[in-house]
Structure 1
Amino acid sequence: MHEANDHLPEEASEELYERKTFSVDKGQEPFRIDKWVQMHIEGATRNKVQRGIEAGFLTVNGKVVKSNYKVKPGDEIVMMSLINPDHTELKAENIPLNIVYEDDAVMVLNKPANMVVHPGVGNFSGTLLNGVAYHLQQQNPQIDEEALPRFGLVHRIDKNTTGLIVLAKTADAAAHLAKQFFNHTVQRKYVALVWGDVQEEAGTIEAHIARHRQYRKMFDAYPDGETGKHAITHYKVLERFNYVTLVECVLETGRTHQIRVHMKHIGHTLFNDWEYGGDKILKGTIYTKYKQFVDNCFALCPRCALHARTLGFIHPVTQKEMFFESPLPDDMAQVIEKWRNYMLHRKENG
């Protein structure tokens, strides 16, 4: 039996499911698949495996099977499983949610700034997922993490990134969405304000991403491709403000901090991204007035200027393409307007 993991641990991905691939050995006797998987995945219980098989998280030779399927030599088994699931019990909390769309299978939310997506070290309550758990339990008091792992969370965005996130309301829908994220068929467009005048009108950044060698909370780009995970970002210029540029970024892969790391890699750190050095003046003049102007911008948008504006995916039940767009949040919109006015003022006085 050979196993291949197609993902690094949780820390390197925005997607929350990994794909485990198994090849059944030549000498394998016919054996029920639920028992076989339980034996080959550490910590898997028969009940969890059966639920996963029923929900479509497992395929054999590309096809969904039932729990009583007998494995045969040469079978290719693919299992989607949560990456490093956090075993802390999730408390349901009555937290207001900005629900953009909801039906029986999925919900799309608009996440505000300064909100963590799911519980973890140092953030066990007040997260988006605590609010989602409460919301779903109001609709179905029986629902729990056993029935719907992580309450349907299949991807995440950073604490200080605003914008769209999709959650599943059934295990079937979670399996369907997890596969779309893994296969990079989900459309995701972000708007970012970055330091510097981006030279090209459009371009593609291709550089592996992994933990920073010195600072463990940060990530870094490794262009030689030896270290980390493959990552591709496409960008295009939306508006130029001489010292900063408004860009649209399209993710082809979903690595943690991908846009922030990739834009810094090409010399355009995100505006007010304190973790990556964007909270200092990186371009512009030495005049006190300019410093005051930038400080005012930082105060207006006290976070990394990044917004998940559009999200497109195939609906797990209807198979129709769903597409959502979220307007720029006030903090980013106000800063962009300030830069527009600054440019007008410079031209008038130029």
Structure 2
Amino acid sequence: MSEEIELNDELPESEELYERLSMVIDRGQEPLRIDKFLMQRIEGATRNKIQQAIENEMVLVNEKPIKNNYKVKSGDKVIVYETASPESSDIIPQDIPLNIVYEDDDLFVIDKPVGMVVHPGSGNPDGTLINAVAYYIKTNYPEIDESELPRYGLVHRIDKNTSGLLVMAKKQKVMSDLAKQFFNHTVHRRYVALVWGNFEEEQGTIEAHVGRHQRFRKLFTTYPDGDHGKDAITHYKVLENFNYVTLVECRLETGRTHQIRVHMQSIGHPLFNDDFYGGDRIVKGTIYTKYKQFVDNCFALCPRQALHAKELGFKHPVTGKDMFFESAIPEDMSSVIEKWRKYSQFKNAEE
């Protein structure tokens, strides 16, 4: 099974779909309008796009929003949040069911099923979450102009075969605010994963850059020395041990593509049935007789990496209220967890 949306080189190497540019104005800089200054500094930038970014508070000077006529001066710290993913001008609205768990005038939260790609890309021109959202918005909110709301408000994404929660915006300023929350690591994201092996420590933190593999471009890998990729931090906690596999909770501090999958592989605990990173074979335990048959049955029950985006929390961009959502673990993954739980209890009773 391939995840083409994750392998498209045009997409950013992170779950968040924005990047941040930061610069400090040099000494001796003559006062110059911020839009003109940024046109000189950002490749391919147009005055119209920069002015839109300023209006949507995606450009900050000394950590504060500014007006289009602001003039930069020596010592100013300028931060620009910019989209790092392809635009959605050719998206075809499709009537595909969506599990919307929350909605108001500004945003909505979706519980994405296993097998659904988030954004069209190479090999997945349609049938994606964004195609479904496009239909939903055009049907229910015809006043929303998609040209002013890139990707129909998509701020972040999760893998095709990972299930769980995503937040989407209905307004540009809401989208901008959420993007900044993701980038500043203030969004609460908690995943549940079934991984191979036992942990010596009940909890820990993995810090290793994540980026594309230098040889196999369809894969991502860790770079502990930080010589490639981007910084990535995953906090994990053991929830339940089943002898040969372990149920863990992962809290993301950053959101790189395949981050949990790659980080867990890097410490010898690939996700159960993760065919990209070695979890689709027996990693712990014997390869013979009834145990192998048991594992194969588990693979058949959950034919994808056992990873679920269970919790999502953020500050509402308009009301300022703390929002929190929780998604039940899907049946395929919960069935395998229960199967391992019973197997573990049986083995412990034997001993």
TM-score, scaled to structure 2: 0.92
Given that 1:18 and 1:81 are in contact with CA atoms closer than 8 Å, whether structure 2 keeps it comes out as yes
Q: Does 1:305 align with 2:328?
A: no
Gap change, CA 1:294 and 1:46, over 3 Å in 2: same
Query: What is the match of residue 4 of structure 1?
Result: none
1:95-120 per-position Cα deviation (integer Å, ceiling 9, x unaligned): 11111111111111111111111111
Count matched residues: 343
> What residue identity is the alignment partner of 2:255?
G
1:188-244 per-position Cα deviation (integer Å, ceiling 9, x unaligned): 110000011122111111111121122111111122222221111111110111000
Distance of 1:174 and 1:200 partners within structure 2: 39
> What residue identity is the alignment partner of 1:186?
V
Query: What is the match of residue 223 of structure 1?
Result: 224
C-alpha RMSD over aligned residues:
1.9
Distance of 2:70 and 2:297 partners within structure 1: 64
Q: Does 1:15 align with 2:16?
A: yes
Distance of 1:286 and 1:277 partners within structure 2: 15
1:149-171 per-position Cα deviation (integer Å, ceiling 9, x unaligned): 11111111111110011111111
Given that 2:11 and 2:84 are in contact with CA atoms closer than 8 Å, whether structure 1 keeps it comes out as yes
Corresponding residue SS for 2:346? helix
Q: Structure 2: which 5+ runs fail to align?
A: 1-8
Displacement after TM superposition at 1:56 (Å): 1.0
Given that 2:89 and 2:147 are in contact with CA atoms closer than 8 Å, whether structure 1 keeps it comes out as no
Corresponding residue SS for 2:234? strand
Gap change, CA 1:10 and 1:23, over 3 Å in 2: farther
Query: What is the match of residue 5 of structure 2?
Result: none
Gap change, CA 1:284 and 1:165, over 3 Å in 2: same
> What residue identity is the alignment partner of 1:318?
T
Query: What is the match of residue 55 of structure 2?
Result: 54
Given that 1:210 and 1:228 are in contact with CA atoms closer than 8 Å, whether structure 2 keeps it comes out as yes
Query: What is the match of residue 193 of structure 2?
Result: 192
Gap change, CA 1:155 and 1:277, over 3 Å in 2: same
Displacement after TM superposition at 1:129 (Å): 1.1
Distance of 2:34 and 2:10 partners within structure 1: 25
1:263-322 per-position Cα deviation (integer Å, ceiling 9, x unaligned): 111111100000011100111123321111111111110000000000111110011111
Distance of 1:207 and 1:157 partners within structure 2: 20
Q: Does 1:74 align with 2:75?
A: yes
Displacement after TM superposition at 1:28 (Å): 4.2
Given that 2:155 and 2:179 are in contact with CA atoms closer than 8 Å, whether structure 1 keeps it comes out as yes
Q: Which moved more, 1:89-98 or 1:312-321?
A: 89-98
> What residue identity is the alignment partner of 1:227?
H
Given that 2:30 and 2:73 are in contact with CA atoms closer than 8 Å, whether structure 1 keeps it comes out as yes
Distance of 1:46 and 1:140 partners within structure 2: 29
> What residue identity is the alignment partner of 2:107?
V
Query: What is the match of residue 32 of structure 1?
Result: 33
Given that 2:153 and 2:175 are in contact with CA atoms closer than 8 Å, whether structure 1 keeps it comes out as yes
What does 1:205-216 correspond to in 2, within 5 Å?
205-216=206-217
Query: What is the match of residue 6 of structure 2?
Result: none
Distance of 1:77 and 1:344 partners within structure 2: 58
> What residue identity is the alignment partner of 1:165?
L
Query: What is the match of residue 121 of structure 1?
Result: 122
Distance of 1:229 and 1:150 partners within structure 2: 24
Given that 1:233 and 1:249 are in contact with CA atoms closer than 8 Å, whether structure 2 keeps it comes out as yes
Q: Does 1:336 align with 2:298?
A: no
> What residue identity is the alignment partner of 2:192?
V
The percentage of aligned residue pairs carrying the same residue is: 63
Query: What is the match of residue 3 of structure 1?
Result: none
Q: Structure 1: which 5+ runs fail to align?
A: 1-7
Distance of 2:31 and 2:203 partners within structure 1: 54
Q: Does 1:176 align with 2:168?
A: no
Distance of 2:199 and 2:225 partners within structure 1: 23
Given that 1:86 and 1:120 are in contact with CA atoms closer than 8 Å, whether structure 2 keeps it comes out as no
Distance of 2:201 and 2:85 partners within structure 1: 39
Gap change, CA 1:177 and 1:143, over 3 Å in 2: same
Distance of 2:108 and 2:24 partners within structure 1: 35
Displacement after TM superposition at 1:340 (Å): 1.2
Query: What is the match of residue 131 of structure 2?
Result: 130
Given that 1:231 and 1:252 are in contact with CA atoms closer than 8 Å, whether structure 2 keeps it comes out as yes
Distance of 1:217 and 1:330 partners within structure 2: 29
Query: What is the match of residue 165 of structure 2?
Result: 164
Query: What is the match of residue 271 of structure 1?
Result: 272
1:325-350 per-position Cα deviation (integer Å, ceiling 9, x unaligned): 11100000000111111122223444
Given that 2:10 and 2:86 are in contact with CA atoms closer than 8 Å, whether structure 1 keeps it comes out as no
Query: What is the match of residue 247 of structure 1?
Result: 248
Query: What is the match of residue 5 of structure 1?
Result: none
> What residue identity is the alignment partner of 2:48?
N
Given that 2:193 and 2:306 are in contact with CA atoms closer than 8 Å, whether structure 1 keeps it comes out as yes
Distance of 2:226 and 2:26 partners within structure 1: 32
Gap change, CA 1:137 and 1:88, over 3 Å in 2: closer
Gap change, CA 1:43 and 1:286, over 3 Å in 2: closer
Given that 1:91 and 1:130 are in contact with CA atoms closer than 8 Å, whether structure 2 keeps it comes out as yes
Given that 2:14 and 2:255 are in contact with CA atoms closer than 8 Å, whether structure 1 keeps it comes out as yes
